[in-house]
Chains A and B, each alone.
Chain A
């Protein structure tokens, strides 16, 4: 910032733009050029130093073990351990995309725009960072800590292919699971309303419901992971049509 200020001050006799403005040419254009140059160098060095992976030719008859999705989808693949494919592979990504697109229609405040504000938007930023971190943690676990048969391996442990005895899993009966699910969302919504009354007041019932449903769904992911890891719960709700 300081060098831009010095440089722009030196052309005042040429007529600087009014207010706290700087001419795009050359100040921004120069920065863009520099940024493009730096990233080009970085990419070129990387490309010269590290070869992109190329395994043996595709063979439909020989399954890779583990068969991993591209790294940016490995987080979703990791969720397959804890959820059925229609949730991990379809519903969750759909909700993430729709939820992201809904953000500006749920958080319609015009304050605190154009600067890094943590104090004024603690709630919004907290939720967003939680989701962002969750996305990356799942990717790291899936990409680096999963070996053959998607078993968990620390990086320093050797991968061994073992069929291993699956842990016995159990599911809530539906008359427990249904109240638990309904109670989680309803209770969560009511608790949040008590804890942050201004949130409900500023959002109104429609937006508040959407925000709470999306947020609680997000927090349900690590909760289900915990239920599975600690208590060995397979499904919270088991029905003839679908399992959650």
Chain B
């Protein structure tokens, strides 16, 4: 290190460079442009550390300080944050995939093939989206396990646990609606199996117990509502596509917003009492 050579009378080349860098940094961070973007100083002070969190739209979700145990990896394993991160990955890769995909039986499968063979990094893009979805499902389940094992659902955090269960269900539904879109044999029959279950719903499914009481048939039961038809076809593909790309992500985004906000409002990250 340059600084260890204390007996040197004139500043060494390294030290001079450091000084130049510092002057340059001072000039940049004092400029109007910089200060219009970052509402805090550059110097590493406690005040600036606080402002870095509170004056940043993305970081202000966090408190300024946290109990020391909360940042231990082995406390949260970052599971909730990583689930959210994967939601963002799915959003970005999903929007990119939308450029190459048309949710119509005549085109859907051809678009998949085109994506795989004719689009630069198309297969990788799809792989990222697909494997990311699986990873997100696993992570959200593990996050729930972590929250349970640390007793973090207990009062006053009851409602946030309820929101979390809803987000788990939404994650599964997001994954399930996406499963149909490739329009291959795997997608078609997996979703056939899944949606056939809806027909077994008591009272409102055409094959469920007590369906006769409401006079429900295959043309007006809950499965028909899902598929827009008596069997899986173009209507179902369009419904699943719209739900997958717009409806469910919007609901999930709103619930996530409340979920994160409530972490703060319900007393911050759970701590040992």
- Which residues of A does B touch, CB under 8 Å? 1, 4-5, 8, 11, 14-17, 20-29, 31-32, 35-36, 39-40, 43-44, 46-48, 50-60, 62-64, 67-73, 76-77, 84-86, 88-91, 97, 100-101, 103-105, 107-117, 121, 125, 128, 132, 241-242
Contacts and interface: CB of A to CB of B under 8 A. Distances in A.
A85 B200 CA distance: 6
Interface in B111-157: 112-113, 116, 123-124, 126-128, 130-132, 134-135, 137, 144-145, 148-155, 157
A128 B148 contact: yes
Contacts of B126: 52
Q: Classify the secondary structure of B's interface with A.
A: helix
B189 A63 contact: yes
Of B71, B137, B179, the most chain A CB neighbours within 10 A belong to B71
30 contacts: A4-B68, A22-B67, A31-B78, A43-B89, A43-B132, A46-B127, A47-B132, A50-B131, A54-B186, A60-B188, A60-B233, A63-B189, A67-B189, A67-B192, A67-B193, A69-B194, A70-B176, A70-B179, A72-B137, A73-B176, A85-B200, A85-B207, A88-B197, A90-B200, A113-B151, A113-B152, A115-B69, A116-B149, A117-B149, A117-B151
Contacts of A32: 78, 81
A150 B63 CA distance: 52
Contacts of B24: none
Contacts of B168: 100
Given A55-B186, A101-B165, A28 B85 contact: no
Given A55-B186, A57-B185, A114-B271, A17 B64 contact: yes
Nearest to B169: A97
B233 to A, nearest CB: 8
Contacts of A4: 68, 71-72
Contacts of A64: 185-186, 188-189
A1 B69 CA distance: 8
5 nearest interchain CB pairs?
A89-B197, A85-B200, A104-B158, A58-B188, A47-B127
B201 interface: yes
A57 B184 contact: yes
B17 interface: no
Of A16, A17, A52, A64, the most chain B CB neighbours within 10 A belong to A52
A98 B192 CA distance: 25
B49 A86 contact: no
A105 B158 contact: yes
B183 A58 contact: yes
A60 to B, nearest CB: 7
